[in-house]
Amino acid sequence: MTAGTSPHDSVAADVQPVDFWASRPMENMKPEWRRMRTRLITPESLDRWEGFALSEWELSGAAWQDFHPHSETNLVLEGELHIECDGQTVVLGPGDAARVNAGRIGRYWAPVYARMIAIYGPNPDGLESDAFKYSEI
């Protein structure tokens, strides 16, 4: 750093100082999947994204399984969430978090109820999740 400059001088002029995402209602991913609701917070769609993607989920006596090309971290806000991956199972309560690493199939279930925040790692190539399975418990 040269005399008369500060670390703040390097902030790009075209970058907004605050990113804001307005609240949206939670919805069922599919009409027939009545015990799983979600809302995407950021980005606007899950086609591809830099940085991270953030969403909120609810499971009520339901289970969900899918393959992610990116990591997925879940932070439980309410209830109890079970996560299984490659034979390892963890049980999360409010305030607990766990990550399923990229390239693996994760199975998530709430015998009664769980509400959580999901944080997906970067997906700049737009690779799609697949192997979706939904079931009611």
Does some domain include residue 109? yes
Does some domain include residue 11? no
* Phi, psi dihedral angles at 7 (to 5 degrees): -60, -20
d(CA 118, CA 93) in angstroms, rounded, equals: 14
Does some domain include residue 93? yes
d(CA 71, CA 135) in angstroms, rounded, equals: 23
Higher pLDDT, 114 or 124: 114
What pLDDT digit, counting tens, does each position of 50-69 carry?
888 999 999 999 999 999 88
Kindly state the average pLDDT of the residues 127-136: 89
Does some domain include residue 5? no
Predicted confidence band of residue 86 (pLDDT cuts 50, 70, 90): very high
Q: What is the CATH number of the domain that holds 90?
A: 2.60.120.10
Domain count for the chain, please give it: 1
Does some domain include residue 28? no
Give 110: exposed, middle or buried? Use CB within 10 Å, 0-12, 13-18, 19+.
buried
Picking from 108, 98, 99, the residue whose alpha carbon sits closest to that of residue 131 is 108
Say which residues have a Cβ less than 8 Å from residue 46's Cβ, sequence separation at least 6: 40, 53, 120, 123, 129
pLDDT at 94: 98
pLDDT at 101: 95
pLDDT at 77: 98
Does some domain include residue 18? no
The token pair at 65 is 């399984």
d(CA 135, CA 137) in angstroms, rounded, equals: 7
Does some domain include residue 8? no
Which residue segment(s) compose the domain that 114 sits in? 40-136
d(CA 122, CA 126) in angstroms, rounded, equals: 9
pLDDT at 60: 98
Does some domain include residue 23? no
Say if residues 102 and 71 touch (Cβ distance below 8 Å). yes
Picking from 17, 89, 19, the residue whose alpha carbon sits closest to that of residue 54 is 19
